Chains A and B, each alone.
Chain A
Amino acid sequence: MDCQQYQDALNAAALGAQSGADAQAFRLHLEICEGCRREFARRREFLGSLDRQLQTRFEAVPSPDFNARLRRRIASESERAPRPVLSWLPLLAGATALAALLAFLHYRGVMTPHQRDANAVHIASTPGAQPPQAAAADHPSAPVHANSPGAPNVRETPSLHPVVATAAASTSPALRVRIDRSELFATVRFTMDVAEGRIDATPLVSASQKSDEAAGAKPLEIPLLEVQPMDKMNSEASSSAN
């Protein structure tokens, strides 16, 4: 009798994964084949030994001082564990408000090539200050920021597109606020100091200007964002125009 055809059935049966007609056919074969019966028994024994070997290995337990070490480690790390989420809420609210304020200021901002060259962006920040075009229209004699023949090196941010400011809440100590607009992409990083209970609205990390990219210029990397009052900005623009 050719037992080769029962090899797969032998494995499957030994592994306990045979059922239905195949199982029945194999059982009938075992009844008449001494060799296969022995081989089947040997494989069953082998699998039993394999299972026992693995099971014995995984009965291992950690060393007696495992719990004590874990306890010490957790206790020491607990001393610097983060505060619960709820205690962050006031700070988070403050940061979000700050983000909105920055977005607003950014919306009204102007950028000068001179300032860009100095790797710094100056944003008007006087509350209630009008956008440059409006200021120029209302007060023709006032310092002009944008596209004025008298101020060739001062350029207004091309158009005032809506600014999208999003604040991602997180229990991590850093809150990142991204301010996107069509011309300027900026990332502002807020650091929340829980121990001191304050928020450091430090600084723009990087920025690039799309208009520069479109013109084929190398994207501008601006490592620092400075916020200045509008009147200071105005005086700078005036002196530059003169």
Chain B
Amino acid sequence: MDAFAESFAGTFVSPDASLAREFEERLADCPALAFRVALGVLRNRAEAEDVAQDALVRAYHNFHRLRDREKFRSWLVRMAWRLALDRIRARGRRQRYEDAAASFAVAAEAAAANAEDIAASREFENKVNIALDALPDKLRLVMVLAAIEGYDTREVAVLLEIPEGTVKSRLFLARKQMAEKLQWTASNIKTR
């Protein structure tokens, strides 16, 4: 059990002690995973943390219903993803895209005015955000999970419970669509 799980020792009140202990053990790296998945949709840290917390609390309450405990991470990923999408929908898609378009315009202007590296970096980040948002949900989830898992397609396949070949083809399509959206332009890319 890692330090995080240890910090929860005894927190979980369950009539079944072994169930509570198993939940604690399963938590290990899960808060960060849930947070990152939510961040892939929301991009707002505070909101992503809220959603991650909601997903983990739900996981806690429904853990006894999960038959195959080995699927805890994929179960949590799906929960966090759905909750994040729900939050986006509640917030209003329109506002979201307007915000994204506005930030894109600002960044583009900054770039046109011979912006410095940091501005170029922000511009690229905004462009990437827009391109990522434009992906269909299935492709976007694969792209986000691939980035989280260091582009390990096997691990993504496990998380999504789909064949690795499907992950590869979705990842190919996602990267292709993003690249085309970004016009294969890397001239002002600066990664932080």
Instruction: Show the binding face of A for B, using Cβ within 8 Å.
Output: 11, 14-17, 42-43, 45-47, 49-58, 60-63, 66-67, 69-71, 73-75, 77-79, 81, 83-87
A74→B150 CA distance, assembly (Å): 31
Contact of A46 among B60, B151, B172, B179 (CB under 8 A): B179
Q: Answer whether A67 and B57 are a contact pair too, CB < 8 Å, given A52-B191, A57-B147.
A: no
Q: Is B139 an interface residue (CB 8 A)?
A: no
Would A56 and B186 count as touching, CB distance under 8 A?
no
Would A66 and B143 count as touching, CB distance under 8 A?
no
Task: Find chain B residues with CB under 8 A from A62 CB.
Answer: 31-32, 35, 49, 52
Interface CB pairs A-B, < 8 A, 15: A14-B179, A47-B175, A51-B147, A55-B150, A58-B40, A60-B45, A63-B45, A70-B57, A74-B56, A74-B60, A75-B11, A77-B60, A78-B11, A78-B13, A85-B64
Task: Find chain B residues with CB under 8 A from A15 CB.
Answer: 172, 175-176, 179
Taking CB as reference atom, which chain B residue is nearest A55? B147
Taking CB as reference atom, which chain B residue is nearest A52? B191
Q: Is B178 an interface residue (CB 8 A)?
A: yes
A77→B139 CA distance, assembly (Å): 35
Taking CB as reference atom, which chain B residue is nearest A16? B172
Task: Find chain B residues with CB under 8 A from A84 CB.
Answer: 14-16, 64
Would A54 and B128 count as touching, CB distance under 8 A?
yes
Task: Find chain B residues with CB under 8 A from A78 CB.
Answer: 11-14
Q: Answer whether A51 and B179 are a contact pair too, CB < 8 Å, given A69-B53, A70-B56, A74-B11.
A: no
Q: Return the 5 tightest CB-CB contacts between A and B, nearest first.
A: A46-B186, A54-B147, A78-B13, A84-B15, A49-B189
Would A50 and B32 count as touching, CB distance under 8 A?
no
A11→B192 CA distance, assembly (Å): 26
Would B53 and A70 count as touching, CB distance under 8 A?
yes
Would B35 and A81 count as touching, CB distance under 8 A?
no
Would A71 and B7 count as touching, CB distance under 8 A?
yes
Task: Find chain A residues with CB under 8 A from B175 CB.
Answer: 15, 47, 50-51
Category for how many chain B residues contact A: 35 or more
Beyond A46-B182, A50-B186, A58-B147, 8 additional contacts (C-beta under 8 Å) are A16-B172, A53-B191, A54-B132, A56-B191, A58-B39, A62-B52, A73-B57, A78-B11
Q: Is B21 an interface residue (CB 8 A)?
A: no
Q: Answer whether A58 and B7 are a contact pair too, CB < 8 Å, given A77-B57, A78-B13, A83-B15.
A: no
A73→B56 CA distance, assembly (Å): 10
A201→B132 CA distance, assembly (Å): 53
Task: Find chain A residues with CB under 8 A from B57 CB.
Answer: 70, 73-74, 77
Would A47 and B179 count as touching, CB distance under 8 A?
yes
Task: Find chain A residues with CB under 8 A from B186 CB.
Answer: 42, 45-46, 49-50
Q: Is B4 an interface residue (CB 8 A)?
A: yes
Would B128 and A46 count as touching, CB distance under 8 A?
no
Would A74 and B143 count as touching, CB distance under 8 A?
no
Most B CB contacts (10 A, CB to CB) among A46, A53, A57 go to A57
Taking CB as reference atom, which chain A residue is nearest B40? A58
CB under 8 Å from chain A, chain B span 3-52: 4, 7-8, 11-16, 31-32, 35-36, 39-40, 45, 49, 52
Task: Find chain A residues with CB under 8 A from B64 CB.
Answer: 84-85
Task: Find chain B residues with CB under 8 A from A74 CB.
Answer: 8, 11-12, 56-57, 60
Q: A74 to nearest B CB, angstroms?
A: 6
Task: Find chain B residues with CB under 8 A from A45 CB.
Answer: 186
CB under 8 Å from chain A, chain B span 136-192: 143-144, 147-148, 150-151, 172, 175-176, 178-179, 182, 184-186, 189, 191-192
Task: Find chain A residues with CB under 8 A from B185 CB.
Answer: 46
Most B CB contacts (10 A, CB to CB) among A54, A69, A81, A87 go to A54
Task: Find chain A residues with CB under 8 A from B31 CB.
Answer: 62, 66-67, 70
Would A61 and B32 count as touching, CB distance under 8 A?
yes
A204→B164 CA distance, assembly (Å): 52
